[in-house]
Chains A and B, each alone.
Chain A
């Protein structure tokens, strides 16, 4: 079964609004990463947050990590139509080295 579970499965918003996606996981991690995927093909890395970090920013992206709750959130501010994509969280587990375990993703649609 997947380590990560994203919530919601699908999200539809208007341009300019903020989008928040959540990810929960089950076992201890070294780090958690967020990826974006367009059209079911290659993934693009967005942010990596380590287990001893609580928040990271990159442009319009903000990621938080709560290891006590085993959860993370990805916030996209001032969304654009070009942000429409699937977003996946992926965990690097303490017990499994550098392999990534992905959730099932959130499909974000930003309407112009």
Chain B
């Protein structure tokens, strides 16, 4: 079956611009996660959705970052007024249900470069 997909695979944008990153989770998975990974580091948690609602957004670094999941499937991570420090690979993952105790299935990531 289809895994987690993310689009675009690469995004280059200028400092100050707005970007949207999309994640399609595995069909039927109710939990969706966003992580950010800088070069040479492990992924860092950003936000977790259970269904349509953000169950935990404590990892969002500041109010320039926002994510939605309006119908409980596809999610969009939105970054306003991008900064060079936002350059990273943005990873999306899903699991069958939330609440923990299950493996998370990761997408291939979106490599964001802010020039």
Bound CA–CA A4/B44 (angstroms): 12
Residue B52 is within 8 A (CB to CB) of chain A in the complex: no
Could you mark each residue 50-66 of chain A with 1 if its beta carbon is under 8 Å from any beta carbon of chain B, else 0? 10000000000000000
- Collect the chain A residues with CB atoms within 8 Å of residue B41's CB: 104-105
The distance from the CB of A22 to the nearest CB of chain B, in whole angstroms, is: 15
Bound CA–CA A2/B104 (angstroms): 19
Bound CA–CA A104/B37 (angstroms): 10
Task: Specify the chain B residue showing the minimal Cβ separation from A96.
Answer: B56
Q: Is the CB of A48 within 8 A of B40?
A: no
Could you mark each residue 84-115 of chain B with 1 if its beta carbon is under 8 Å from any beta carbon of chain A, else 0? 00000101010100111111111111000000
Bound CA–CA A55/B39 (angstroms): 31
Residue B43 is within 8 A (CB to CB) of chain A in the complex: yes
Q: Is the CB of A97 within 8 A of B55?
A: yes
- Collect the chain B residues with CB atoms within 8 Å of residue A40's CB: 37, 39, 89
The distance from the CB of A29 to the nearest CB of chain B, in whole angstroms, is: 10
Q: Is the CB of B101 within 8 A of A41?
A: no
Q: Is the CB of B95 within 8 A of A98?
A: yes
Residue A45 is within 8 A (CB to CB) of chain B in the complex: yes
Q: Is the CB of B103 within 8 A of A42?
A: no
Q: Is the CB of A98 within 8 A of B89?
A: no
Q: Is the CB of A100 within 8 A of B39?
A: no
Q: Which of B98, B106, B109 contacts A98 (CB 8 A)?
A: B98
Bound CA–CA A88/B104 (angstroms): 13
The distance from the CB of A33 to the nearest CB of chain B, in whole angstroms, is: 7
Bound CA–CA A7/B115 (angstroms): 34
The 5 closest A-B pairs by CB, nearest first: A102-B42, A98-B100, A45-B103, A43-B106, A42-B108
Q: Show the binding face of B for A, using Cβ within 8 Å.
A: 4, 31, 33, 35, 37, 39-45, 48, 55-56, 59, 89, 91, 93, 95, 98-109
